[in-house]
Homo-oligomer: A and B are copies of this chain.
Amino acid sequence: MEQNNTLANLGESESLRRTIGKLIQGDYAIVGPGDDSAVVKSADGRFVVTTDTMIEGHDFKLEWSSGFDLGFKAIASNVADVAAMGAKPTALVVAIALPGDTQISWLEDFADGLNAGLTQLAPGASVVGGDLARAEQVFISVTAHGDLEGLEPVLRSGAKPGDILAVAGTLGKAAAGLDLLQSDILDAKHAFDDLVSIQLRPMPPIPAGVLANKAGATAMLDVSDGLAKDASRIAKASAVTIQIDKSALLGFEAVLELAALRLEVTPTNWVLSGGEDHALLATFPEGVEIPREFKPIGRVLESTGDLVLLDDVELQANGWDSIRG
């Protein structure tokens, strides 16, 4: 590691030149990075916008996540929020603050992770602007944009009694990956690197968001804080009760069974309370053709107090709180 390749030594302009130059071009940027602002196409006449922050020590540890991992995850977690509106991701801006002694190679690796996330999850979208600053703690703040392409946004508040509850993507894998990383059981994380990988580089089913919208989804969100907590958000916003079919979760538990045995836990908590897979949870009117990316896992009932039920048992809305932890 050469002392003169730190960000503090290179300064802002040179550090940006070396990383922005790596970023892939997208289909929506009219003016890209380098001016006071970017200019982005929004043919629909509306745009979707969401922001999310990742903070060292709270949302990630540098000993577990490489620059590449964090770049990938920054894309994944934000485009999932765009997809959850039933929109197509188009453009992102990325602000990152790093200690001055960070090597430029770390930042270049981060840019590679951004590119990989875009290519794999949101082809056509690109990073159109950003900000690089210095801090004692690593701080990553991303704002993502999307295009509704003439469709109406799918809110959390549209679920109706009788609707089918369905999920696209994985449940509990990211939480299992986190427990594996935190475990001191020898080699546990290497034995289940597919789960660790979902924690470090989540793979939300982004195109399923638009498909759900086209199929007539009445409500949707991305599961970032756990199935129970996020289902309760739909229940509350829509003033309904949501009943999850316990047997429909068995498939999600089965793929976690071996890792759960190794860590001597049951996989149910991972599936019900684990966030960060960024699965899409949606409700569909009965009788519509639900896109095959979605697996039905329950049903929307008349409100009996904005509850979430697992079969007939009330679930507590446990999950991640970004302030309390």
- Type the 1/0 row for A114-150, where 1 means its CB is closer than 8 Å to any CB of B: 0000000000000011111111110101011110100
Considering the chains assembled together, what is the distance between the CA atoms of A153 and B30 in angstroms? 10
Query: Is A58 interfacial (CB-CB < 8 Å)?
Result: yes
Contact A7 to B139, CB < 8 A, known contacts A40-B46, A46-B39, A129-B50? no
Residue A31 at the chain B interface, CB threshold 8 Å? yes
> Quick check: is A97 within 8 A (CB to CB) of the other chain?
yes
Q: How many of chain A's residues have a CB under 8 angstroms from any CB in B?
A: 74
**A48–B39 contact, CB under 8 A?**
yes
How far does the Cβ of A70 sit from chain B's closest Cβ, in whole Å? 15
Instruction: Check A212 for interface membership: any CB of B closer than 8 A.
Output: no
Q: Which of A87-95, A166-174, A254-262 contacts B (4 or more CB under 8 A)?
A: A87-95
Check if A191 is an interface residue, CB within 8 A of chain B.
Answer: no
Write the chain B residue with the least CB distance to A37: B50
Identify which of A31, A128, A130, A323 gathers the most chain B CB atoms within 10 Å of its CB: A323
Query: Which stretch of A17-25, A78-86, A243-251, A291-299 is in the interface?
Result: A78-86
Closest to A12 in B: B323
Query: A41 CA to B45 CA in the complex, in Å?
Result: 6
Whether B85 pairs with A36 at a CB distance below 8 angstroms is: yes
Tell whether, in the assembled complex, residue A129 and residue B58 are in contact, meaning their CB atoms are under 8 Å apart. no
Q: Does A3 contact B (CB under 8 A)?
A: no
A50 and B38 form a contact (CB under 8 A): yes
Copy count, this protein chain: 2
Q: Is A52 an interface residue, CB under 8 A from the partner?
A: yes
Q: Whole-angstrom distance between the alpha carbons of A47 and B324 in the complex?
A: 36
Q: Which residues of A contact B (CB under 8 A)?
A: 7-8, 10-13, 15, 30-31, 34-53, 55, 57-59, 81-82, 84-85, 87, 91, 93-95, 97, 100, 128-137, 139, 141, 143-146, 148, 153, 155-157, 220-222, 237, 321-325
12 further interface pairs, Cβ-Cβ under 8 Å (given A49-B145, A133-B322) = A34-B156, A35-B157, A36-B221, A39-B47, A41-B45, A42-B44, A45-B45, A49-B143, A53-B133, A134-B322, A141-B141, A143-B143
In the assembled complex, 27 residue pairs joining A and B whose CB atoms fall closer than 8 Å, in A order, are: A8-B323, A12-B321, A12-B322, A15-B323, A35-B85, A35-B155, A35-B221, A36-B82, A37-B48, A37-B50, A37-B82, A39-B46, A40-B47, A41-B46, A42-B44, A43-B45, A47-B145, A51-B94, A51-B95, A53-B139, A55-B135, A57-B135, A57-B136, A131-B322, A133-B322, A134-B322, A134-B323
